[in-house]
Amino acid sequence: MLCLSSGKVTPGASLLVSCHPLYWQTYLQVPPFLCSMVFILFDLNHDLSSHSAFQRSDQKQSEFHGKVSGCNLNVSFIDLVVPLLSNPITILLARGCGITGEVKSHWFVSLWHSLQLFDLSGNRLDAVDALPAKLRLDVSHNEIPLHVHPDVIKSAAKSGTDLWMMNTELANKEDIMSNCSNELQMEEMWISRETGGYWCHDLIQPNFRVTPERFLPQLMCACGPGHFGAGTNCSACPEDTFNDQMDQRKCQACPEGGKAPAGSQALSACKCPYGTPGTFENKTMCRCDRGEALSYDHECLSCGKLHLVCNAPGSLVATAPLEQGYIRLKEPSEEIFECLDRQHCRNSSCAPGLERS
């Protein structure tokens, strides 16, 4: 092994730097390195078969797999691919190499015929302007927001070409929203995120992989129960409010007198001063449970002891139906009387021909 701090190549040649075990790098000016390297000079038409960074495919002896991930190349995309244009590379792995610039189609022309997998994840690319058919392009974990041409998105969504953008921030969200929203088909199911209070849809297309909250959060994500807002901009419901639905701009107040902790996800989280919370005539309110009735003193009393018939929640002592043989002298009233002659009381009222007195 040979350690060098810098070096230059002669005109018409490239410098190939390989870090053990299978790393390589092309430079016009080689910067200092922290590892021992083997330096090999070769011209642009050099046969890569003699270098350890490239291995022949087991299936086809004429194909090469390049494995260079992890070496701090710090070169542009153009400088990365130019030395390789004349070689039949099928797989090129260049993860976390400090690669910058734009992925453009005219630099790929001679590679398109052979290249099947190009792993550029973990780099600092600015843009992707082309996505050839039959190529899997992985630009996941890009260190800066990535501009992707709408035609690239449409190609991935329609043709089945593999485009992986996991955990990569999309730079031109509005552009893609306005030009590609019809092509992006999403799963119906919402998937909760551990933090942030939002839920997201995944894309239906298995070949097109993104992180929804970093790709198109306004289209693919929404605030979940217990939160309010839009997209991934979600806040927990304040105290004494709740939200039991997806994608709500505000939370609902608990019934009068009800108390609930922040972030409550259901009406049942509201604790009433009497009874339990419920909905009556499209209004939320505290009400007594079945078998109980609310008094003027805001207490839930046993209907059986008051001779009331309470078959549903929300009964009131003053208006609930009475058992047979009992009557109110006026309506509504919490005063209930037993009829001395039950034949004179029918359905909580006096029999025909009789009056209350």
Query: What's the CATH number where 110 sits?
Result: 3.80.10
Residue in this structure with the two tokens 């198109």, named with its chain if needed = 216
Torsion over CA: 43, 45, 49, 54 (sign): positive
Structure tokens at 152: 């690239």
Question: Among residues 144, 177, 212, which one ends one of the domains?
Answer: 144
Low-confidence spans in the chain with pLDDT less than 50: 1-57, 59-61
What is residue 87's predicted lDDT score, i.e. its pLDDT? 73
- Is there a domain that residue 36 lies in? yes
- What is the C-alpha to C-alpha distance for residues 219 and 227, in angstroms, rounded to an integer? 17
Domain that holds residue 119: 7-144
> Could you report the per-residue pLDDT of 60-72, keeping only the tens digit for each?
445 578 888 998 8
What is the DSSP annotation of 224-254? -TTEEEETTEEEEPPTTEE--SSS-SSPEEP
> CB-side exposure of 40: number of CA atoms within 13 Å?
19
- Is there a domain that residue 32 lies in? yes
pTM above 0.75, yes or no: no
Contacts of 185 (CB under 8 A, 6+ apart): 157, 203, 204, 205
What is residue 348's predicted lDDT score, i.e. its pLDDT? 55
Please give the C-alpha separations between residue 307 and each of 319, 324, 327, 348, 351, in angstroms, as whole numbers.
Answer: 12, 9, 10, 11, 19
- What is the C-alpha to C-alpha distance for residues 320 and 346, in angstroms, rounded to an integer? 15
- Is there a domain that residue 46 lies in? yes
What is residue 188's predicted lDDT score, i.e. its pLDDT? 93
- Is there a domain that residue 128 lies in? yes
Overall number of domains in the chain: 2
Q: Are 93 and 69 in contact (CB under 8 A)?
A: yes
What is residue 135's predicted lDDT score, i.e. its pLDDT? 87
- What is the C-alpha to C-alpha distance for residues 75 and 27, in angstroms, rounded to an integer? 7
What is residue 131's predicted lDDT score, i.e. its pLDDT? 86
Question: Among residues 144, 166, 188, which one ends one of the domains?
Answer: 144
Question: Among residues 144, 164, 196, which one ends one of the domains?
Answer: 144
- Is there a domain that residue 65 lies in? yes
Torsion over CA: 171, 174, 180, 186 (sign): positive
CB atoms under 10 Å from CB of 283, counted, come to: 8
User: What stretches of 124-228 show up as alpha helix (H) in DSSP?
Assistant: 150-159, 173-180, 212-215, 217-220
305's enclosing H/E stretch is helix 303-306
- Is there a domain that residue 224 lies in? no
Q: Are 229 and 235 in contact (CB under 8 A)?
A: yes
Contacts of 17 (CB under 8 A, 6+ apart): 23, 24, 25, 26, 27, 30, 33, 37, 38, 39, 71
Q: Are 159 and 151 in contact (CB under 8 A)?
A: no
DSSP state of 308: B
- Is there a domain that residue 324 lies in? yes
DSSP state of 321: P
Paired sense of beta strands 241-242 and 252-253, if any: antiparallel
User: What stretches of 27-124 show up as alpha helix (H) in DSSP?
Assistant: 77-81
* Number of residues assigned to the chain: 357
The backbone torsions φ and ψ at residue 38, rounded to the nearest 5 degrees and listed phi first, read: -105, 125
What is residue 279's predicted lDDT score, i.e. its pLDDT? 83
